[in-house]
Amino acid sequence: MLPMISIITPLFNTEIFIQSTIESVLSQTYQKWEMIIIDDGSTDGSVDIVRPFAKKDERINLICLPGNNGSAHARNEGIKNARGRYIAFLDSDDIWLPKKLEKQLRFMDRKNSPLTFTAYQKINENGKYIAQININKIKVGYTDLLKTNHIGCLTAMLDTQLIGGKISMPLIEKRHDHGLWLSILKKGHTAYGLNEVLGEYRIRGGSISDNKIDNIKYQWKLYREVEKLSLIRSMYYMFYYAWYGVVKWRA
């Protein structure tokens, strides 16, 4: 029997992009999935676009939360409602290539790892190519991940059976996906990267990942408040984080 993959998609005011996101899931060559779309208090027409898809395809499940509590809360709600052995994440403005689930599931089986990730492309708001983000470290451990986040959220796939127990993202505004990956690798697991582009990450002006100063602030918060690292260790890994940031900027 083929295993089910639960796709977690937080939704907030992305009426321009959500249809393309859903269609990229419907176009997957691997079809045993459920897509859990968690609306986090959208005030535009996002929900109205999702509803016909959910009505037509029972694999698409729309959950509407009261108010706006942030993407970490929405993703955790999706995880809580997931029925699949495998969990994947796809934001409501990003896109998967058609063979993403098929190829990554095969890779998961081959590596017997609870966490895998892939290469991806960056696109702009109009879908125009910006850059390709290749994998520079195929095998990633906990200390590797403290230095920089090698794992793009739209590329991650988890095997809940291998992880064991409950999983959730820390309730911080940013870096909560990084926090989840760290919590898995902290148990001694290793993440593996498939160096093939299987997704497209959309860069939008004013998006939550666009503010570099805020990124630094939340990275520090991740080290000190989530990972509970000492001041010295936090400074040590912050140096690596900044260094990797410069390298990525120059690339």
Q: What is the pLDDT, as a whole number, of residue 248?
A: 63
Q: Return d(Cα 120, Cα 39) in angstroms, integer.
A: 25
CATH classification at residue 139? 3.90.550.10
Domain range for 44 is 5-205
User: Residues near 105 by Cβ (< 8 Å), separated by ≥ 6?
Assistant: 3, 5, 30, 86, 157
SS3 66: coil
**Residue 43 domain-assigned (yes or no):** yes
**Residue 76 domain-assigned (yes or no):** yes
| Mean of pLDDT values over 109-113 | 94
Q: What tens digit of pLDDT does each residue of 4-42 get? A: 999 999 999 999 999 999 999 999 999 999 999 999 999
Q: Return d(Cα 4, Cα 48) in angstroms, integer.
A: 27
Percent of all residues in the chain with a pLDDT value above 90, rounded to a whole number: 82
**Residue 250 domain-assigned (yes or no):** no
Pairing of strands 5-11, 191-202: unpaired
**Residue 29 domain-assigned (yes or no):** yes
Torsion of CA 150, 153, 157, 158, to 10 degrees: 90
Q: What tens digit of pLDDT does each residue of 144-186 get? A: 999 999 999 999 999 999 998 789 999 888 889 999 999 999 9
- Whether the Cβ atoms of residue 185 and residue 145 lie closer than 8 Å to each other: yes
User: Residues near 188 by Cβ (< 8 Å), separated by ≥ 6?
Assistant: none
Kindly state the DSSP code that residue 57 receives in the 8-state scheme.
-
Number of domains in the chain: 1
